[in-house]
Amino acid sequence: MKLLPAATATCLFALLASGASGAVSTGSPFYGDPPDQTHPWAIHDQNRPQPKRVEPGTFSTPAQPGQPPSDAIVLFDGTAPSLARWEADTKDGEPSASSKWVVNEGAMECVPKSGYIRTKEKFADCQLHVEWAAPKNVKGDSQGRGNSGIFLMGLLEVQVLDNYDNPTYADGFAASVYGINPPLANALRPPGEFQIIDIIFRRPVYQNGQVLDPGYVTVFCNGVLMQDHTPIEGPGGHMKRSKSGQFPETGPLKLQDHGNPVRFRNIWYRPLPPRSVEGGTDGALSPAATTAKRKAIAASIRADAAARSGTAHLLRLAESLVYEKDPATSAKVDELATAYAASMKALPAAQHESKKGEIEGVLRAFRYLVKFEIEPANYAPKAVLEQIVKARGWEEKKK
Ligand code: MG
């Protein structure tokens, strides 16, 4: 982290602190590299929205489920009423029906041969948390021991299987993307104990039949990485090579009935924001999306500038040019900058000292605009302020 010179930062904070509306600057502009063709924000941009506050939960242990974070959507909290968020996985066109899975000691348990269970809610990109336990009473081997599955959007199976001491084909191992990619490790606890699964899922995104983003799945088991941003090659499946393709917009979360009484608890998810290919505005964007976003940021800063007066008005308006060199704003900034420089030049030399912080702050802004070719190299208001600074010997004193 690099800090601003204290005097400059204090001055600009004071200038920008009052009368804010729309975009809120939380510190000094004219600092890091400006926006470019694919990045709508400057480096260390103080207009960029603050991350939303999420109250963290607590971590689970095998003995005790943790608390979800504050913005999580809880799908199953261990109580019988929360099973009402789930239903039997009936076929398309069939009426909905209650699931026969049961709630026992804080967990929902698969009743073999009763069928898959699915959420009534449909969603897509998410951070998903699931905990599962294979039966303590070990029966069967390979794919027949403690088998269930976490079906993302009802399609892509992250395998649930008791592989604690049970070899099977690698692409069907616990935490595999079933039929596609084995997990990176076996970090399972013994059968009967809860395994803690965290998944980050991004569905494939297509446009006009062309893939914009294949989608990815990342999986942790008991805090150990299993799937590292594994590209999605279709839904996966048994015996057949999976083919990439479009997913629906949303789908339910399904849990598999594979004939074993596997137990689940503490199931929640957090929806993820859209990626830039879907119109999200974080990260690197397309040039067209960047231009549109920069235009919106500039408009917001101009609205904020309108609520300010004097030097604060000038600086905020000048700041908007960093995002969009709107001709009318550019002309207004030139007019205000020229007037400001003239008014400072007209001040008796003895009064410059009381304006030192302000003049240096405005000069810093003008230098930034020139450095990044938003204003010309021979920008007259900058030259006037530099003359004042030089005459007062301010920059020499700093050395
Ligand atoms: Mg399975």
What's the CA-to-centroid distance between 131 and ligand 1, angstroms? 15
Judge whether 298 and 318 are in contact, CB under 8 Å: no
What's the CA-to-centroid distance between 67 and ligand 1, angstroms? 27
What is the pLDDT confidence band of residue 234, given thresholds at 50, 70 and 90?
confident
In this structure, are 138 and 223 located in the same domain? yes
Q: Please check the confidence at residue 236 and state whether its pLDDT lies above 60.
A: yes
What's the CA-to-centroid distance between 169 and ligand 1, angstroms? 12
Is pLDDT larger for residue 108 or for residue 279? 108
* Spacing of C-alpha 328 from chain mean position: 35
What is the per-residue pLDDT for 149?
98
What's the CA-to-centroid distance between 258 and ligand 1, angstroms? 6
Mean pLDDT calculated for residue range 290-298 = 96
In this structure, are 118 and 253 located in the same domain? yes
231 domain-assigned = yes
What is the per-residue pLDDT for 397?
54
What's the CA-to-centroid distance between 248 and ligand 1, angstroms? 22
In this structure, are 316 and 381 located in the same domain? yes
In this structure, are 189 and 242 located in the same domain? yes
What's the CA-to-centroid distance between 100 and ligand 1, angstroms? 18
| Cα distances (Å, whole numbers) of residue 385 to 94, 291, 313 | 77, 32, 18
Mean pLDDT calculated for residue range 339-350 = 95
Judge whether 235 and 156 are in contact, CB under 8 Å: yes
What's the CA-to-centroid distance between 148 and ligand 1, angstroms? 4
What's the CA-to-centroid distance between 340 and ligand 1, angstroms? 72
What's the CA-to-centroid distance between 307 and ligand 1, angstroms? 60
What's the CA-to-centroid distance between 256 and ligand 1, angstroms? 6
In this structure, are 112 and 195 located in the same domain? yes
In this structure, are 340 and 369 located in the same domain? yes
What's the CA-to-centroid distance between 147 and ligand 1, angstroms? 5
Q: How far apart are CA 197 and CA 172, in angstroms?
A: 16
Q: Please check the confidence at residue 164 and state whether its pLDDT lies above 80.
A: yes
In this structure, are 247 and 205 located in the same domain? yes
Mean pLDDT calculated for residue range 173-180 = 97
What's the CA-to-centroid distance between 172 and ligand 1, angstroms? 8
**Residue 368 belongs to what domain range?**
5-50+281-398
Q: Please check the confidence at residue 10 and state whether its pLDDT lies above 50.
A: no
259 domain-assigned = yes
Domain total of the chain: 2
What's the CA-to-centroid distance between 133 and ligand 1, angstroms? 13
What's the CA-to-centroid distance between 159 and ligand 1, angstroms? 5
What's the CA-to-centroid distance between 151 and ligand 1, angstroms? 9
Judge whether 50 and 386 are in contact, CB under 8 Å: no
Q: Lowest mean pLDDT: which of 94-98, 142-146, 278-282, 321-325?
A: 278-282
What's the CA-to-centroid distance between 178 and ligand 1, angstroms? 8
Judge whether 288 and 281 are in contact, CB under 8 Å: no
What's the CA-to-centroid distance between 369 and ligand 1, angstroms? 60
Q: Please check the confidence at residue 379 and state whether its pLDDT lies above 80.
A: yes
Residues belonging to the chain: 399
Q: Which of 44, 245, 83, 39 is closest to 153 using CA atoms?
A: 245
What's the CA-to-centroid distance between 183 and ligand 1, angstroms? 14
64 domain-assigned = no
What's the CA-to-centroid distance between 210 and ligand 1, angstroms? 30
61 domain-assigned = no
Identify the domain boundary among 278, 312, 347.
278
121 domain-assigned = yes
The angle at the Cα of 190, spanning 105 to 176, to the nearest 5 degrees, equals: 100
163 domain-assigned = yes
What is the pLDDT confidence band of residue 398, given thresholds at 50, 70 and 90?
low
Q: How far apart are CA 56 and CA 170, in angstroms?
A: 35
66 domain-assigned = no
What's the CA-to-centroid distance between 144 and ligand 1, angstroms? 9
**Average pLDDT taken over every residue of the chain:** 92
Cα Rg, the chain, nearest whole Å = 30
Identify the domain boundary among 236, 262, 278.
278
Q: What is the CATH number of the domain that holds 274?
A: 2.60.120.560
In this structure, are 159 and 274 located in the same domain? yes
User: pLDDT tens digits for 20-69?
Assistant: 344 555 557 899 999 999 999 999 999 999 999 999 999 999 999 999 99
Q: Give me the percent of the chain exceeding a pLDDT of 90.
A: 84
What's the CA-to-centroid distance between 80 and ligand 1, angstroms? 24
What's the CA-to-centroid distance between 391 and ligand 1, angstroms? 78
In this structure, are 288 and 274 located in the same domain? no
Q: Please check the confidence at residue 283 and state whether its pLDDT lies above 90.
A: no
* Spacing of C-alpha 198 from chain mean position: 16
Single-letter residue type at 85 = R
Q: Which of 236, 241, 229, 267 is closest to 155 using CA atoms?
A: 236
User: pLDDT tens digits for 71-121?
Assistant: 999 999 999 999 999 999 999 999 999 999 999 999 999 999 999 999 999
Q: Lowest mean pLDDT: which of 123-132, 270-279, 329-338?
A: 270-279
In this structure, are 182 and 260 located in the same domain? yes
What's the CA-to-centroid distance between 74 and ligand 1, angstroms? 23
62 domain-assigned = no
What's the CA-to-centroid distance between 88 and ligand 1, angstroms? 17
Q: How far apart are CA 170 and CA 377, in angstroms?
A: 64
In this structure, are 199 and 185 located in the same domain? yes
In this structure, are 110 and 192 located in the same domain? yes
What's the CA-to-centroid distance between 41 and ligand 1, angstroms? 45
What's the CA-to-centroid distance between 149 and ligand 1, angstroms? 4
Q: How far apart are CA 119 and CA 117, in angstroms?
A: 7
pTM of the model: 0.87
What is the per-residue pLDDT for 354?
94
What's the CA-to-centroid distance between 84 and ligand 1, angstroms? 23
Identify the domain boundary among 229, 248, 278.
278
Q: Is 289 exposed, middle or buried (0-12, 13-18, 19+ CB in 10 A)?
A: middle
Q: How far apart are CA 265 and CA 133, in angstroms?
A: 9
What is the per-residue pLDDT for 26?
52
Q: Please check the confidence at residue 281 and state whether its pLDDT lies above 90.
A: no
What's the CA-to-centroid distance between 277 and ligand 1, angstroms? 32
What is the per-residue pLDDT for 338?
98
HSE-CB for 315 with a 13 A CA cutoff: 28
Beta strand 210-213 with 205-207 is antiparallel
Long-range contacts of 301-306 (CB under 8 A, 24+ apart): 301/22, 301/23, 301/25, 301/47, 302/326, 302/329, 303/21, 303/22, 303/23, 304/20, 304/21, 304/22, 304/23, 304/24, 304/25
Q: Give me the percent of the chain exceeding a pLDDT of 70.
A: 92
